[in-house]
Amino acid sequence: MMGAHESTARWRIIIADDESLIRLDLREMLTHLGYDVIAEAGDGRSAVELAKRMRPDLLIMDIQMPDLDGIAAAEELTREKVAPVVLLTAYSDQGLVERAREAGVVGYVVKPFREAELMPVIELSRARFEEFRTLEHEVGGLKDALETRKVVERAKGVLMEVHGMRESEAFHRIRKTSMDARKSMKEVAEAILLAHEMESSISSGNGRDEQLED
The model's pLDDT over 95-141, given as tens digits with 9 standing for 90+, comes to: 676 777 777 777 888 888 888 889 888 888 877 777 777 777 777 76
115 and 172 both lie in a single domain: no
Structural domain count of the chain? 2
Order of strands, sheet of 12-16, starting from the edge strand that comes earlier in the sequence: 36-41, 12-16, 58-62, 85-89, 107-110
Going by pLDDT thresholds of 50, 70 and 90, the confidence category of residue 201 is confident
Q: 52-56, 57-61, 97-101: which has the minimum mean pLDDT?
A: 97-101
| Spatial separation of the C-alpha atoms in residues 94 and 96, rounded to whole Å | 5
| Spatial separation of the C-alpha atoms in residues 158 and 63, rounded to whole Å | 29
The model's pLDDT over 129-179, given as tens digits with 9 standing for 90+, comes to: 777 777 777 777 667 777 787 888 888 889 988 889 888 888 888 888 888
Q: Are 136 and 178 in contact (CB under 8 A)?
A: no
Tallying the residues shown for the chain, one arrives at: 214
What is the domain extent for residue 209?
Answer: 140-214
One-letter amino acid for residue 147 of the chain? E
DSSP helix/strand/coil, 82? coil
114 and 166 both lie in a single domain: no
21 and 53 both lie in a single domain: yes
Going by pLDDT thresholds of 50, 70 and 90, the confidence category of residue 48 is very high
